[in-house]
Amino acid sequence: MTKVLLAGGFGKMGQAIQKQIAQTDGLELVGILAPHPKPADVPVFEGLDLIDVRADVWVDVTTPGTVYDNAEYALNADMDVVIGTSGLTEAQTDALKKLAQNKKRHVLVVPNFSISAVLMMHFAGQAAKYMPDAEILEIHHQDKLDAPSGTARATAKKIADGRREDPRLVGVGQPARGEDINDVQVHAMRLPGYLAHEEVIFGATGESLHISQDSISRESFMAGVVLAIEHVDQVGDYLAVGLDAVMDL
């Protein structure tokens, strides 16, 4: 039985994860970290200093401002860590990797738990080998804190890593209303009625390729959450970014 401590358990994503763990054989929720506690079937802790349960895996779906301290605490408490929160800086990621190595624990940072989103990013990286000119359009619900999204950033990196030659249109035209990430223009939109949509558009002489993905409900993330929890201890080199690190792609 894998014991899980969930940070951010009363947000929309956290509540969905609670429900999923309860119905998944081999997983047991043993505690929740939440600054504003609500009734639950397991102990709820308002601060890191109050936690008094032992878990195998720490799952974090909190906020960019708290995720690093939470992950650092979990590693020092000899837990593996699954991070589903955007906002870690490169320096913070490097520091967590060093700590994980020292503690012989594992960290899996997951920009998107959706299996279809992971496949989209993988396909985009493959397409970039042959079509280096690409832009990304991502649309999320109006309450999403970061823009561009962590998924869009990860997709841009996949495209950049997959390129065999430089894009022809670098520096041409106006910058995106979003961000230039690894010479990939990312356009970020926040609108009611959406949960998560991403489209990658590749252009070449006389042709174009569109790869798109939609998450209709948070249930679409649950298979990836379970996969991450069950396989985080298999992460190579102690820290990896992306659910594909524990998938056969």
Q: Which two tokens stand for residue 30?
A: 């043993």
Of 3, 19, 103, 144, which is the active-site residue?
144
Active site residue 140: yes
DSSP bridge pairs for 126: none
Q: Is 178 helix (H, G, I), strand (E, B) or coil?
A: strand
Show the CA angle centred on residue 33, arms to residues 30 and 37, nearest 5°: 105
Out of 106, 122, 140, 157, pick the active-site residue: 140
Q: Which amino acid is at 110?
A: V
Q: Name the strands in the sheet holding 239-241, side by side, starting at the edge strand that comes first in the sequence.
A: 44-45, 27-33, 2-7, 57-60, 80-83, 107-109, 239-241
Say whether 3 is catalytic.
no
Query: And the tokens for 130?
Result: 């042959």
**Catalytic positions:** 140, 144
